[in-house]
Amino acid sequence: MPDELFTLAAATTGAPAAAPFGRMSVAMVTPFLDDGGLDLEGTAALAEKLVDQGCDGLVVSGTTGESPTTSDAEKDLILRAVLEAVGSRARVVAGVGTNDTRHTSELAQAAQKAGAHGLLLVTPYYSRPPQEALYQHFVAVASATDLPVMLYDIPVRTGVPIATETLLRLAEHDRIVAVKDAKGDVFASSEVIARSGLAYYSGDDALNLALLTHGAVGVVSVVGHVAAAQYAQMIRAVDSGDLRRALDLHRQVIPAVRGIMTRTQGAIMAKAAVQHLGVIRHRTVRSPLIPATDEQVALLRADLAEAGLA
């Protein structure tokens, strides 16, 4: 990019006004023992490692945390383990979204009781509710606790996007304050950012830099399991208008994004990555997922080495 374009960018960027769930957040994997049971010691160790590497936010029991295959009781244990480990140093957000409004509200209330700092609410999946139903679902859950809410817009998984007008309506609720955006539509996200007070977080590592330059306040990353420091530097570079530095960091981590996010499920490869780095003991996942193969891990190691992360 010519120098004059970087100069123009530097004049028009700046730190976002509000980041209710931190800036550099990771959607944490849930460590399991070799027999598939919860590894709460490993969970705490991973949370501490991520915060030490630059995370000021953690999301537990999201998709990457294998929430569909953990029980309500296990979700409570996971949340409490992370809060005890790093709750004084990072914003800890509990994933409570399901496709049942009543169940989601119950999980939200349990998360508040455990001490969560906020809630992540994914669009109800499989049922494919219309936009008015989405609106009513999110308002009902947001009204069930006193916690701030981050909506999770990921139509590739849920089958239904949250429409721009629905997001603008939801922004009027006092406790709906943020969006984890994995819609893959930067223009739509830009419009909501411009027309509302919602804090946007990139939920798609391939688009982290793009969304930050359009006004996102931070990221909720999977690749951040291995690149938290690099993404934190990218956020600071965008804040200061140093887009050349931000682009260099984006390009550095491309091999890691490829290795974790493109060959199979991100939860599978993120877990393999942190095991490879010695942070957790096992790469066990719960069915219907299957652990990374030795061949996949070998490719991942090469990717991480190319990115300078291993």
Mean pLDDT of 117-142: 98
pLDDT digits (tens, 9 = 90+) for 151-170: 999 999 999 999 999 999 99
Given the residues 125, 135, 152, 200, the one annotated as active site: 152
Residue 143 three-state SS: coil
What residue type is 216 in one-letter code?
Answer: A
Q: What does each C-alpha distance from 100 to 112, 126, 127, 193 come to in angstroms?
A: 18, 11, 9, 28
Is 207 among the domain residues? Answer: yes
Catalytic residue among 75, 180, 183, 271: 180
66 is a domain residue: yes
**Domain span at 199:** 24-242
* Residue 266 within a domain: no
Does 18 fall in a domain? Answer: no
> For residue 18, what pLDDT is reported?
86
Q: Report long-range pairs for 188-195 (Cβ below 8 Å, ≥24 apart).
A: 188/164, 189/214, 189/216, 190/214, 190/215, 191/164, 192/164, 192/167, 192/168, 195/168
**279 in a structural domain:** no
Q: What is the reported pLDDT for 304?
A: 98
> What pLDDT score does 310 carry?
82
- What values do phi and psi take at 91, rounded to 5? -80, 125
Domain count, the chain: 1
Neighbours of 161 (CB within 10 A): 19
How far is CA 225 from its chain centroid?
11
Tokens of 72: 């309500």
**Within 10 Å of residue 165's Cβ, how many Cβ atoms?**
12
The pTM of the whole model exceeds 0.85? yes
| Per-residue model confidence as pLDDT tens digits over 72-88 | 999 999 999 999 999 99
CATH number at residue 88: 3.20.20.70
Q: What pLDDT, on a 0 to 100 scale, did the predictor assign at position 9?
A: 35
Return binding residues: 64, 220
Structure-token pair, residue 239: 């804040």
280 belongs to a structural domain: no
- 287's enclosing H/E stretch is none
Binding-site residues for pyruvate, in ranges, read: 64, 220
Give the chain's mean pLDDT: 94
The two structure tokens encoding residue 183: 């819609």
- What average pLDDT score do residues 216-244 get? 98
pLDDT number for residue 17: 53
pLDDT in tens, 2-47: 333 333 333 333 445 589 999 999 999 999 999 999 999 999 999 9
What b/e readout covers 238-262, taking b as 16+ CB neighbours within 10 angstroms? bbebbbebbbebbebbebbbbbbbe
Q: How far apart are the C-alpha atoms of 167 and 162, rounded to whole Å?
A: 6
Share of the chain above pLDDT 90, in %: 94
- Whole-number percent of the chain with pLDDT over 70: 95
Residue 230 lies in a domain: yes
Tell me whether residue 112 is in a domain: yes
Q: 200 an active-site residue?
A: no
pLDDT over threshold 50, residue 177: yes
